[in-house]
Structure 1
Amino acid sequence: MPTKEHELNSDASSSVIINEHVNEPHPHRMFSYFDHRYRMRHYFAEFFGTALLIFFGTSVNATVTFNPGFAPAKWVIITLGWGFGLGNALFVSMGNSGGHLNPAVTISGAIFGKFPWRKVPGYVLAQILGAFFGSALTFGVFRAKFNEFDGGSRQTKGPQATAGIFATYPDPANSVWDSFFTELLLTCILVFVIQGFFDDKMTPAKGFGPIAVGLLVLSIGISAGTTTGYAINPARDFGPRLFTLAAGWGAKPFQVDRYYFWNPIVAPIVGGILGHFLYEFFIVPNKD
């Protein structure tokens, strides 16, 4: 993520370009309200990055739900869609906002002094709103298929349930604490490995960070994701769940499975903090 010094240097270089080419507007000033857009750029990147992630992910969920022919390879298709979708979303956002797209990443980064607390509320809000918007895009694309599948009666459980296209729901065999532990552990692994990807003193994924993170999420999903749907991201679950509340599913998505909705909010945040701590404490770089 750009530092304050980097931002100042960027401003200075922009001024030089404009002064040297008086008759040629700077490409970033092609539209009005540049200063306002510049101040909000990180939040815009988080919003659209998260929206893309959720659009790709929930769209692949819809595709396998509405096309029974995909059933034999359903989980492989889903994990590929989410993994590659995240990679694409990070290419849009990582160079600008840092590509958090996940409150667990944002909050754990702030706790360990790698991200300013003053930006946390804006980042988290942008992520949740982006997830809601991405869900709305998916619903718009597949609206006719939803109506064909359930006759317009939106269901959360049962053979014609479609709420799972958007939010995550645990395996019926799970207890509340089984699911909590799984989400905590998977998010812990996510944040732990991400620290290694972007640690300059170790083996950073320079130049291919988005691909590396996408493959990490693919690995998590294909190995252990079936037990909870691997939210591993409070915004990824809460934003789409809010959309189902507003789009005809009612309050059921918040009530089923013993009010499970809080689990993919709290567990990933705790897991993210734990993953960050474990990396900082145990992965000690060699002395120069």
Structure 2
Amino acid sequence: MERLLQSCRIQSQLVRECLAEFLGLYIAVLIGSGAAAQVITSQGTHGSYLTMQLGSALGTVTHDVCFLSGAQLNVVWSMSLWLLGRQPWRKVPLYALSHLLGAFLGAATVYLQYYDAIQVFSGGHLSVAGPNATAGIFCSYPADHLSVWGGIVDQVVATALLLICCLAVEDRRQGLLPDGLAPVLVGALILTIGLSMGSNCGFPLNPARDLGPRLFTFIAGWGEEVFKAGGGWWWVPIVAPFVGGLLGTLIYELLIEVHHQLTPQNQTKTHPKLLTLFSTAKTKHITLN
């Protein structure tokens, strides 16, 4: 067995990182959408809104699974790290593809697990809207009161907050955290966002987390309505998080990190990409992780 396992070992570090990112988001969707499926198909007898938020938050605490890649799990975070010069650009699209595939297969697994429950609850008719709608188990849809513009604002604000706090957690000049605490803090952050900003559209925050399951529901029987519902809502949780992620990154850099006292230890690398965006950051330096 050991010899067989050794023969399956992948030598490429980048491929192994992509596999870790794939598995991490697969688990996150499996737990998060599984929690939603349990609540919705049981009509609230096995869980509540809070348990759905807990499932989404705790599903992201997969740091040990994704140790090789740093458990980025969100292409918006990957883009932020690239913008800050902490990882090469070539990782961003490969991680994004890994996330998309992991989210797609995570949704497929939840559907298989809850197939009977979904069929009974929906009466055999897979719908996006209405009292027996089940598409919301897998991806985001706007509440009845939410406009497209309101959804954009919601996602920009929520994702900006996510990036600001994640950068604070990762900022070693704020102080070193005990091993294993960072993913717990990020999970608590996601729970906090869900509890305070989840009623508009379910706080997707992650383009692949929404698009992967949406593509699955499109081919699994929900049909074109997954892209038509909410006035063509589907693009909002894909585009708006990138805007919010960029905004959150710039806010943290300009209000917090640029003001850290520079020392010989943390002047090792110029902050290359933000220098092209802000003339006020011309003397900014950053320590690579």
8 Å contact kept, 2:57–2:187: yes
Quote how far apart the aligned CAs of 1:146 are.
Answer: 0.9
Match in the other structure for 1:55? 30
- CA–CA separation in structure 2 for the residues paired with 1:110 and 1:242: 27
**Could you say if the C-alpha distance between residues 35 and 85 of structure 1 is closer, same or farther in structure 2, counting changes exceeding 3 Å?**
closer
Q: Is the contact made by 2:30 and 2:106 (CA closer than 8 Å) also made in structure 1?
A: yes
| Structure with more helix by fraction | 1
Deviations 1:169-209 (A, max 9, x none): 11211111111011011000001100010111013434111
**1:279 and 2:255 are equivalent in the alignment:** no
What does 1:16-95 correspond to in 2, within 5 Å? Answer: 30-36=5-11, 38-70=13-45, 74-87=48-61, 89-93=62-66, 95=67
Aligned-residue RMSD, C-alpha? 1.9
What residue identity is the alignment partner of 1:231?
P
Equivalent of 2:163, from 191, 197, 200? 191
- The answer as to 2:117 corresponding to 1:145 is yes
Letter of the 2:159 counterpart: T
SS of residue in 2 equivalent to 1:98: coil
The residue aligned with 2:226 is 253
Structure 2 gap ranges (5+): 264-289
User: Which residue pairs with 2:106 in the alignment?
Assistant: 134
Q: Cα offset for 1:257?
A: 0.7
Deviation at 1:268, TM superposition (A): 0.4
Q: 2:212 aligns with which of 221, 234, 239?
A: 239
Secondary structure of the residue aligned to 2:139 is coil
Quote how far apart the aligned CAs of 1:91 are: 2.8
CA contact (8 A) 2:75 2:208 kept: yes
Give the match for residue 236 of structure 2.
263
Q: Deviations over 1:29-74 (max 9, x none)?
A: 8431424464411000010000000000000000110122448x62
TM-score (normalised: structure 1): 0.85
Percent identity (aligned): 36
Corresponding residue SS for 2:177: coil
Q: For residue 166 of structure 1, what is the aligned residue in structure 2?
A: 138
Partner Cα distance (2:171, 2:50) in 1: 30
Structure 1 range deviating more: 147-156 or 127-136: 147-156
Counterparts of 1:217 and 1:28, CA distance in 2: 41
Q: Once the two structures are superposed, what CA deviation does each residue of 1:222-246 show, in whole Å capped at 9, x if it has no partner?
A: 1111111100110111011011011
TM-score by length of 2: 0.85
Residue 286 of structure 2 aligns with which residue? none
Output the CA distance in 1 between the equivalents of 2:33 and 2:10: 34
Structure-2 change in CA distance of 1:39 and 1:286 (3 Å): closer
Letter in 2 for 1:255: K
Cα distance in 2 for residues equivalent to 1:39 and 1:105: 17
Alignment of 1:106-145 (within 5 A): 106-145=78-117
| Closer, same or farther: CA 176–70 of 1 in aligned 2, 3 Å | same
**CA distance, structure 1, for counterparts of residue 156 and residue 246 of structure 2:** 10
Segment of structure 1 superposing worse, 148-157 or 235-244: 148-157
1:46–1:100 Cα contact (<8 Å) kept? yes
- Alignment-derived partner of residue 182 in structure 2: 209
Counterpart among 156, 175, 199 of residue 226 in structure 1: 199
Structure 1: 5+ residue stretches without partners: 1-24
